[in-house]
Every structure is written in C-alpha cells, then in structure tokens.
Structure 1
C-alpha cells in the first residue's frame, strides 16, 4: 500500500514539473482550439538570429498544420508583436496562406514567415508575441510564443576621472583631464570619438583640446580620453556637471551608421587659497628718476582656504631701471578674505624713462589643511614720472652785484627827483 502511495506521489510531482516546463513563463492564456477550424494548429520553428540583435532584423518561421477543415478560401494569420519588435522590415502583421483544402485524414503543412525589425534601444530579455487565426465561427484562436533578444552592441560607462594637477582649483590653465571610457556592451565600437561639453567657469585650453579620438574600443575593454581645460578666476569649490559625448560605429554595421552616447560626469573643484595683489602704494607718492622708493604691496587671500607662511618675492628684470635693496618680504598667515602687507625697497635709476612699469611678483604660501605649497604669479605696477624742472643757480657774487646795482639805481632816481 505504501509503495502504491509513493508511486502516486512521484507521478504527481513529475506531472507538476512537466507542467511547469511547458507552461509559458508569462502565464499568458491561449485560446483553445475550438470552432469550425479546430483542425488548424501552429508550431514555432525558429527565429534567426537567435537571440535577436538590437537595431537589426529577425526572421520568424512557424509550421502550420491543417487537417479535416475542408476548404478555406482565405486562411489568414495575424501577428501581435509589441516593443521591441517593429513592423519596419517590409512585413505587416496580417499574412494570408490563400485557399486551403484539407479533407480526409491527410495533414497539410505550410510555413508562415515574418521579418521584423528589433528596436535600436531594445534591452536584453525574453519577449512574448502572439499569433492568431480565424476559428471559422467569427472568433479567433490565439497562441503565444517567446522570442529572445540579446543586443550584441557596444555600451559605455565612465570609469575613473582624474586631473593633473590632482587638486583642480580656480584660475588654472591647461589642466589635464583624463576620463576612462569602458565598453560594457556585447560588441566592439569602432572609430570612437569623444567630445567634452563643459559647464560655465570652464573652457578648452586651446582649439580641439576638448576633443579626442579613441579608435576602436573592444568589448570589455577601456580607453582613456585626454583633454586640456582652463578654470576661471573666482570659480567656487564644488562639483560641476559636465557631459562626454561619444560618437562611434558598431562592428559589422552594414549601414555604416554613426551612433551617439552622452555620458554625464562631474568635475571637482577643490577649496584652496587664492592670493592676489590688492593694492600698491609708494613712498614718496610721486616717483621720479634717481629716487629711493619704498613699495608697499598689499596681498589678499580671495580663496576658500587659509594660507600659512605667505611671502612675496619680486623678480629683477634687466630691462627695467630698478636696483633692489630688498627683493622679498614675509607676509604671514592669511585667512580667506584677509589682507597682509609686504615692503620692497628699490632705487629708480637716473636715466629711467617716465612710464608705468609692471614688476613681476611671486606670491607663495602653504595651504594649512594639506601642507600643499601654492604659488601665484602676479604683477605690481610702478609709475615713474618725468624729472622735476628747476631754475639754474647763479653765483653768489653775481647776486650781490645785481642787488647792489638795483639799490644804486633806486637812490639815483630819488636824487633826481
């Protein structure tokens, strides 16, 4: 008795397993074979290619078996197919096998053929389509079939984003931006070109420095795009949204069509000191040739981080008429928004031309939080005015004689009166 029960349980389990195998995963309900044309049945033969590829055509074939239906003047089939399948390859959803005569016990076989286009943006997966035909009594008989799509096409993501200098800050020229581009798709990408779209506050360092040619990026491989960019003065610290636009051709693309992929990423701008010359004063206020001058230079930290050990140094230019007694001075610690002073002493040469001179200055400091040395190249203006014109000095004797002559002439004039 127990053996019989066990055999029954095994049979039930096997039956349930077989039912699970033949039942569609989507649990779609098919119309039973009823009506006048119950002798018609359809079996899926194949799809080519299997799986189908995005952006390309797929061929579908069904085996139509007809028996004991007598004569059908026009046996029609209708294919219901939604995304990602498109009727853009020449076939419509309605197909006709024409007149069918099936009498007696002999089965008649037909091949039903469709050609569909798979959408460009089709995702990998299994998709259901249904095929239906007239039941001879005003209704439809429907069967469902599963098609597979696995796009063999390249797809891209951005990997590491690096800059040189490593800490990108405001007012930086020709910073190297390196962006790793990875092909995570199922096909090679050929003739890949990358172009930057930069946010406000960023510019390409020179013509075409925001473009790079990467060539072929194979499946599961990466390449690094190189760009050179500038950041403007006053750019605040933070992360800025930018885009990398890729144009490429898919491998073995018969239409030789270029495709586009836009990948967003962020450019980080770090907090940093930023030292500028705020003002310049001279003692004396008006500078002439052959004059000793004290140059008072005010230095301001307009950045977002504290700068320690700030110092100022001037560079002597042999074309400028200055001799320096002191060429550097220590300013000290400057918090964001603070100003300090540096004093430079020099002598203006006697043959100095009257004009405005720009003295090259280096501002140097240490970023307090990172101990990173920051250096800024600036200029300090100094205007030299023409020499003052003075009357010629007469000898003392000549002055005395002139005064005596004037006094004598005055007395003579009085006596004549």
Structure 2
C-alpha cells in the first residue's frame, strides 16, 4: 500500500523508482494458470461462507478442533486475519457482501487501536484496516485507526534496547514474530509524514538482525534483554523444539519481515539478509519434498528422550508454508536470474501442495477453514495439527499476489 504524503514522497522518491522496475514478473516465467489460481480463490470464498455461519457477531474465528469452532475476542493476536482474508477475497471477486462482512468485523476490532498491552497490532490492525484502506481508499474511515494503533505500538519501544517489547513477563523479551508488525509503522510514516514510526521500525529491524540470527541465518525465537543497558539476558525459544533449534514459523516471519523492510526502505542490506534467510530455509536438509515444513526444522532430528520425539517429530505446519509462499513471491520480484527463478518455483510448489490433499480441506468441512495441518505451539500443547486463521490469511494473500503477477500488475498499489 502506498499512500504517501508529499513530504514522504520527496524523501523516498528515488527508492520508489527502484522498486517500480522490480515489482512484476514475466508472464512466461509463471507455471500456475489463471484458472488454477481463480479456482483456489473461488473455493476459498465458498469456505468463508461456511466459516461465517459459525462465527458469533462479537467474536473472531481462530481454529477448529474436535468438530468444534474455536473463536477469540478482538484482543487475541490473530483477530485481524479474518477480516483481512475477507478483504483479499473481495479484491478477487468484487463481491460487496464480503466487503460488508469485513466491515462488520472491523467495527468490533477498531477498539484495539488503543491496546498498548500487545506488540501484535500490526497483525491485528494492518492486515485488516490496512487492507481496507488499500482497497477502499477511505482515508476518513481508516487513517486514524492505523495512526492511533501505530502510536500504541511504539509505546512499547525502548530506546536503550532499540527494540519493541513483545511480551510481559521475562525481563524484556523480543520475539522474531515482531518483525511482522513493523509494516504498520512504516505505513504510519507514509500516512502522517512523521518519520518517527519508520525510524523505530528500522531500528528494531536492525537490532533483530544483529541479535536474533545465528551465523547460518537461522533465528532464535526469543531474545531477552536487560532494559536498563540493552544487554542480552538470554536467547531462548517459547514455541520451538529447544533454544538452539529453528522454529519453522519463526524462520518464515523473518523472511517475510526483511523482504518487507527492503520494500519499505530500499536498503540493500535487508534484501541480502532476506536472501540468506531464504537459502537457510530452502537448502535445509529437513525441508520435505512438498515444501511444507515440519513445525521445527530440527524436529526430525530430535533424540528419543526429547519430550516431543514420540509424538511430534513429523508434524507439518501449513501456516509456515503459507507465509513462506507469500514472502518468496515478493522476494522473487526483487531478484534476478537463477535465484529469482528458484524463489518463484518454490512458491509455486508450496501453493500447489497447499491447494491439494492432505493440506486443503474438502469444501464444506473443517469448520469453514481452508487449510488443515497447522501447528500453533507444541511446547504449550496448543493448536496442534489444526486449521489456523493465519494459515488461511497468508495462503489467500499468496494467491492474490500470484494473480497480480499473472495479470502483469505490481504486487503493491
């Protein structure tokens, strides 16, 4: 989304010129047909109709477990994905009913713009209200929500740590997932002309790049800091197999986040970093043939005495694949030659895998969710081998991005 103020246009003009020539793929490179993409999106709309029937008016869909729909209030971190999915499907179809349904959920979500108790406001507000602004251009309805949400988010920033706090508890924990909330800040600067949001996003990204990543470009899940001097208290995991393992969705968050930061800043360091993360993921010896990762890249190698070895060594995570497919499609447009072709090929293979059994649900089943076999948090015994609202969101986003490539359009307006 690009709604640049005059001030920011002048500051970023040369960067945008660079992006403009790298934002579309050649149609003869694309192996998936328009008919295939449209079929998946049309079936997603049909599933969303089933899902909508089971969602209470003041709740958001979260997952489907044991033949039971599980919903959340708007404070839960995934609350923005359902309206965001509806808006992407409205973009595909032009069906005003999807837009109205999305707006109804935006109504109950808007109050979270004041929520200073979470770092997840990018997920909650940008995936929802950001898409609404992009598609409707209704600045009167949505600008204030995004700017207030961005102000709430930066209230969690510590200039000594040079990062945004993720959780309460611990000492000062920062998780790799937080990279996904930075787009809200870069866009807030574009909407307002105030550079502080963008500057904080860049500083946070640089701190994460420095401290979260190992020499092989795998990421720790949690870096715990001392807020008084910015020193590192510990390098841990909360959702991975063990502290030194490569929790799969965390690797996907990092790839998506640094690809996005290159788009937003034009800084080559972020592009190089994204390429290195992609190499770690795609070259990993435990990456399955169908490119739907295990929940942790180290899970298949767990010793027999591991607490997760007997049950969870081979669980796949469709949500990771959805995020990766979307990120790789974008990264493909910023690169050239064999590496660009490799990213496109991998994204296409992920989309084909996700669009078929055993990952895609039969129409009318799965509580209305599109994908099966995602993993929330195995260490917390939470949402294991179930559909997840964010898996569907990033799957739909990847399909929309691919459709734009087929149509010869840039990925971003």
**TM-score with structure 1 length normalisation?**
0.19
Return the structure number with greater strand share.
Answer: 1
Return the structure number with greater helix share.
Answer: 2
**TM-score with structure 2 length normalisation?**
0.19
